[in-house]
Structure 1
Amino acid sequence: MSQATSDAGSSGIILTPQAVESAFVSRQMIMDVLVNPSDVRIHMQPIVDLQSGHIVGYEALSRFGTQGALAPDRWFSEAARFGLAAELEAMAITKSITLKAGLPANRFLSLNVSPNLIGTEPIQAALSGDLTGILVELTEHVKLHDFQSTISALDNFRDRGAMIAVDDTGSGYSGLQMLTKLRPQIVKLDRELVAGIDTDDVKAALARMLGDFVGLLDGWILAEGIETLPELDRIIGLGIPLAQGWVLGRPGPPFPELNPSLSRRIAKRSGERGTRDRARRANRLVMADLIDQTTSIGIGESVPCETKASLIVRIDEHLRPTELLIRKGEGSSNWKCTRTPMKVRGDDDASVILERLLLRDLNTRFEPITVVDQAGRLTGTVRMEALISALLSKSRRQNHDLENDSSTR
């Protein structure tokens, strides 16, 4: 959700018609907060894993609390009018990053960044250094005039450990085209697609379709703006993996926790869905069936000289995979490094993962896949040849069973 959103359902600020009409942000007011950022508060809204019922991240949202009931979008739109958009956005990013030291373990921090500002000096300075554990969230509302430079900037962020998200999918101009070019790890469903989804089968079908599409791009869907328990239950039933919204937790001072009863409710609903899925797919092949034990090293560690491994996974302090190191030929001391390894869960269907692999860039299409648990921790790797071989064996067994069934009739 963009930090420039003003409706009460997302900013937590309720404006009367009179206040909206009279509210204004002057250039001097913006200059004042740039000089004295303490006038700006950063609130955090939880992002929840709908399989485990645990918080996996927070979105940082700016609140300009000392200037009355002026909504955040008014500040950012007026800053753009005065030519101070990059400076105000960079200040908010910097304040948010200073809070990262207190971020609970195994959780990421999501920061809003306008695509048209991503190459500016203030934004580049605010996002310098190690970005491990940072989710750079792009609003889809802004038309990109130089797509290639934006992709280059995002690749640079990825190289330094960041994940990429696209906000408000379904409400912007570029839609699916932007997703195919940016290849984000997380795609947010617009609130308009989530509102009333519990009683709207068309919205549910569209959400499922977008989830399948994003999965093929090696990403995850996040449903934002969930405000009721029936909406939450429907989202869980659709298999959407991540969510945020008022029903899960309103934005507040760092770092709000999830209500334990709500966490149990999510895990229960997810378990019910999992039971149904297992009954439907009793004979499916999942990635956990194909895992190889893998050598791993920490960030900053060198490859052991004595290792005979042909594949090494570099992991961060939370045991999450960050790089693949692939030996260039048997006995070689040279390694190929991939900073964006494909990550899948152990219960993912192997045939679906193969479809996703075939849509990846040709340079990484045949590289090993990292398998992670619900917290994103490495459990092993699967090589492309093992995946294909297992699926072919399964297909031959099924054909053999069909032939036997036919011969007995």
Structure 2
Amino acid sequence: MGAPGEVTHRGRWHRRLDAVCSDPGLLRLVLHPVVDVAAARVAGYEVLSRFPSAVPTEEWFRAARALGRDADLDRVVLTGALSRLDLLPSGTFLTVNASPTSLADPRVMDVLLAQDLTGVVLELTEHADCDPRDLTGPLTLLRARGALVALDDVGTGHSGLLRMAVVRPEILKIDLQLVRGLHQDLVKRSLVQFLGECAGRLDAWIIAEGVETADELDVLRGMGVPLVQGFLLARPGDDFVPLAPEAARLLATGEPPAPAPARHAGDLARRTKTARTVPGAVQAVHEEGVPVVVVDAEDVPRVLVLPAQRAGERPRVEAVETTLAPETPVRQVAARALARPGPVRFDPLVCTDPAGRFIGVVGFEDLVLDLAAVPAGAGHRLPWRTGA
């Protein structure tokens, strides 16, 4: 049994949770707008909880988890949040939050599955005790009802990349700790760019939360982040409200994002192992299973040795007859690759500097992935959005 102080503390939290769960009227729900940067309009609203005490909201949910009552609290909050769906403005979405462990509770799933979830984003909070693979079944059911899934606090937490890989969310929310001051922090900007690239691979949108300064907004817009949330543009309120005129003016007068620089062969070239002789290259391919380039005394590539495609076959030896300049545009690289004869069409392409010296090889897979990549959210349209 715990110490007297601990027992008293737990008992106090049980009574608080009992009160809210038995009388949901004690719970106040507010709506925090999510803003579409390009359109200068509200794209959606996140439902946030306010409890009947001076205790911060996060303390309520932390205590509920510690007492094993997170599903009790989530059920009450979700019931109130989803009751707002009938009032949701056309062309917007409603984000509701839930602990991943709550989705294992039939009472919580009953609340969620009781209605059409088109226009609802279920935001999963970070939870150290949850294996994301346990979410596959519940999320399949919720998506079948029309819901989309968002991951909260992306870029922080113990298992963010694993959660992304397993859950395959439609929306990633960049944690405010990464957003705060990113205009002065190269590492933060690099991490946000990385998450934007992850979103592109997942065909997902990203939302940057906690935007509080014009400098942060300008950097995020320049990086192609499509959706933002924060006190700079809108504060939580009791009603569904459009974007305030002053916030719309701030978005309208900002500098447009700079176009992404065209990528070239040199951006994709990867340095691979080299050898001075073909036998040496063949031996290296046998040992390491990667392409090896045979170069002469001036580091000019002469032969490309490729791993065998099937067991029992010998490595393939191909003369390097043409090379790429590093400034060759990626689309032109693709055209040249596809113009090659069938047997070598998908081989790596060799890139050299102006003096003909070996720089690296451009793999066909890297080439395709680069052509398929898009800026974070660019060109996408949320499924329920009907306007421009």
Name the TM-score, length of structure 2 as normaliser.
0.64
Q: Distance in 1 between matches of 2:206 and 2:261?
A: 24
Out of 52, 57, 71, the position equivalent to 2:44 is 57
Q: Which amino acid aligns with 2:128?
A: V
Q: Which amino acid aligns with 1:173?
A: H
C-alpha displacement of 1:71: 1.1
Q: Distance in 2 between matches of 1:116 and 1:278?
A: 40
The answer on 1:138 being equivalent to 2:120 is: no
Q: Distance in 2 between matches of 1:374 and 1:136?
A: 15
Q: 1:192 to 1:106 in 2, by over 3 A?
A: same
Out of 220, 224, 238, the position equivalent to 2:223 is 238
Q: 1:278 to 1:166 in 2, by over 3 A?
A: closer
Determine the structure 1 residue equivalent to 2:345: none
Out of 180, 184, 192, the position equivalent to 2:177 is 192
Determine the structure 2 residue equivalent to 1:258: 243
Q: Distance in 2 between matches of 1:377 and 1:130?
A: 18
Q: Work out whether residues 116 and 142 of structure 1, in 8 Å CA contact, stay in contact via their aligned partners in 2.
A: no
The answer on 1:72 being equivalent to 2:81 is: no
Consecutive unaligned residues in structure 1, runs of 5 or more: 1-21, 286-350, 358-369, 380-409
Q: 1:375 to 1:248 in 2, by over 3 A?
A: farther
Q: Distance in 2 between matches of 1:214 and 1:184?
A: 9
The answer on 1:95 being equivalent to 2:80 is: yes
Q: Work out whether residues 57 and 108 of structure 1, in 8 Å CA contact, stay in contact via their aligned partners in 2.
A: yes
C-alpha displacement of 1:376: 3.3
What's the CA shift string for 1:95-150, capped at 9, x where partnerless? 011111111111100011111121212210220131111000011243323x3331
Q: Distance in 1 between matches of 2:237 and 2:387?
A: 31
Determine the structure 1 residue equivalent to 2:337: none
Determine the structure 2 residue equivalent to 1:81: 66
Out of 341, 347, 355, the position equivalent to 2:372 is 355
Alignment of 1:97-112 (within 5 A): 97-112=82-97
User: Is the partner of 1:184 in helix, strand or coil?
Assistant: coil
Out of 2, 10, 18, the position equivalent to 1:31 is 18
Q: Distance in 1 between matches of 2:216 and 2:11?
A: 35
Determine the structure 1 residue equivalent to 2:385: 376
Cα root mean square deviation, aligned: 3.1
Q: Distance in 2 between matches of 1:71 and 1:195?
A: 21
Q: 1:227 to 1:90 in 2, by over 3 A?
A: same
Q: Distance in 2 between matches of 1:377 and 1:24?
A: 49
Give percent identity, aligned residues only: 35
Q: Distance in 1 between matches of 2:41 and 2:12?
A: 38
Q: Work out whether residues 25 and 78 of structure 1, in 8 Å CA contact, stay in contact via their aligned partners in 2.
A: no
Q: Distance in 2 between matches of 1:107 and 1:141?
A: 28
Alignment of 1:5-404 (within 5 A): 25-64=12-51, 66=52, 68-128=53-113, 129-145=115-131, 147-269=132-254, 272-273=256-257, 276-277=258-259, 355=372, 372=381, 376-377=385-386
Runs of 4+ residues deviating >6 angstroms: 278-281, 351-354
C-alpha displacement of 1:79: 2.3
C-alpha displacement of 1:25: 4.6
Q: Distance in 2 between matches of 1:373 and 1:149?
A: 27
Q: Work out whether residues 31 and 45 of structure 2, in 8 Å CA contact, stay in contact via their aligned partners in 1.
A: yes
Comparing 81-90 and 190-199, the one that deviates more: 81-90
Q: Distance in 1 between matches of 2:11 and 2:371?
A: 53
Q: Distance in 1 between matches of 2:225 and 2:112?
A: 30
User: Is the partner of 1:198 in helix, strand or coil?
Assistant: helix
User: Is the partner of 1:26 in helix, strand or coil?
Assistant: helix
Comparing 147-156 and 90-99, the one that deviates more: 147-156
Q: Which amino acid aligns with 1:79?
A: A
Q: 1:160 to 1:278 in 2, by over 3 A?
A: same
Q: Distance in 2 between matches of 1:224 and 1:32?
A: 31
Q: 1:25 to 1:74 in 2, by over 3 A?
A: farther
User: Is the partner of 1:118 in helix, strand or coil?
Assistant: helix
Q: 1:225 to 1:253 in 2, by over 3 A?
A: same
Q: Distance in 2 between matches of 1:33 and 1:374?
A: 35
Consecutive unaligned residues in structure 2, runs of 5 or more: 1-8, 264-328, 332-367
Q: Distance in 2 between matches of 1:256 and 1:25?
A: 37
User: Is the partner of 2:46 in helix, strand or coil?
Assistant: strand
Determine the structure 2 residue equivalent to 1:15: none
What's the CA shift string for 1:214-263, capped at 9, x where partnerless? 11111111111111111111111111111101112121212233221321
User: Is the partner of 1:277 in helix, strand or coil?
Assistant: coil
Determine the structure 1 residue equivalent to 2:347: none
Q: Which amino acid aligns with 2:259?
A: D
What's the CA shift string for 1:246-294, capped at 9, x where partnerless? 1121212122332213213324436x22xx428969x999xxxxxxxxx
Determine the structure 1 residue equivalent to 2:357: none
Count residues with an aligned counterpart.
275
User: Is the partner of 1:256 in helix, strand or coil?
Assistant: coil
Q: Distance in 2 between matches of 1:229 and 1:25?
A: 42
What's the CA shift string for 1:297-325, capped at 9, x where partnerless? xxxxxxxxxxxxxxxxxxxxxxxxxxxxx
Q: Distance in 2 between matches of 1:123 and 1:117?
A: 6
C-alpha displacement of 1:45: 0.4
